[in-house]
């Protein structure tokens, strides 16, 4: 799955695709309508999903968000996705079931809810499909 061009923008609901950048902000594209608009860096903070990681209790200390999404997707049959607005206890229990190695001390409930909300948002738009990333051999 390719989260490279997907970004969360503070103050704006949902996720966006980066359509271009300028020295004073980003041009973002709505994933539903395709409408583009300028989001100035003076008013917004940008979080590319590919740069987000979740703390773990393993040697690596953290794991990329894309790999967490893969774990959730693989567990969907046994553990159907819960609502992102579920109780804190239900959210933690679900996350523990699908991603048991997350660090419960450093991963907050708000982080879990955000991950679940983003996962649902991307699943609804069919943006979490497996992409073949075969490299072309160089001559």
SS3 string of the chain? CCCCCEEEECCCCCEEEEEEEECCEEEEEECCCCCEEEEECCCCCEEEHHHCEEEECCCCCEEEHHHHHHHHHHCCCCCCCCCCCCCHHHHHHHHHHHCCCECCCCCCHHHHHHHHHHHHHHHHCCCCCCCCCCCCCCC
Architecture of domain 52-124: Orthogonal Bundle (1.10)
Q: What is the pTM of this model?
A: 0.86
pLDDT tens digits for the chain (139 residues)? 578 899 999 999 999 999 999 999 999 999 999 999 999 999 999 999 999 999 999 999 999 999 999 999 999 999 999 998 999 999 999 999 999 999 999 999 999 999 999 999 999 999 887 653 344 444 4
Domain coordinates in residue numbering, the chain: 6-48, 52-124
What was the pLDDT predicted at 136?
40
């Amino acid at each position: 799955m390719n989260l490279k061009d997907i970004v969360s923008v503070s103050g704006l609901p949902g996720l966006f695709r980066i359509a271009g950048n300028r020295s004073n902000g980003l041009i973002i594209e709505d994933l539903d309508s395709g409408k583009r608009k300028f989001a100035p860096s003076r008013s917004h903070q940008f979080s590319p999903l590919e740069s987000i990681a979740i703390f773990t209790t393993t040697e690596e200390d953290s794991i990329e968000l894309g790999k967490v999404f893969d774990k959730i997707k693989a567990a969907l049959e046994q553990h159907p996705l819960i609502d992102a607005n579920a109780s804190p206890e239900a959210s933690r229990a679900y996350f523990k079931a699908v991603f048991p190695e997350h660090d419960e001390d450093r991963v907050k409930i708000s982080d879990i809810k955000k991950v679940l909300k983003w996962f649902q948002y991307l699943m609804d738009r069919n943006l979490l499909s497996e992409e073949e990333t075969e490299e072309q051999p160089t001559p």
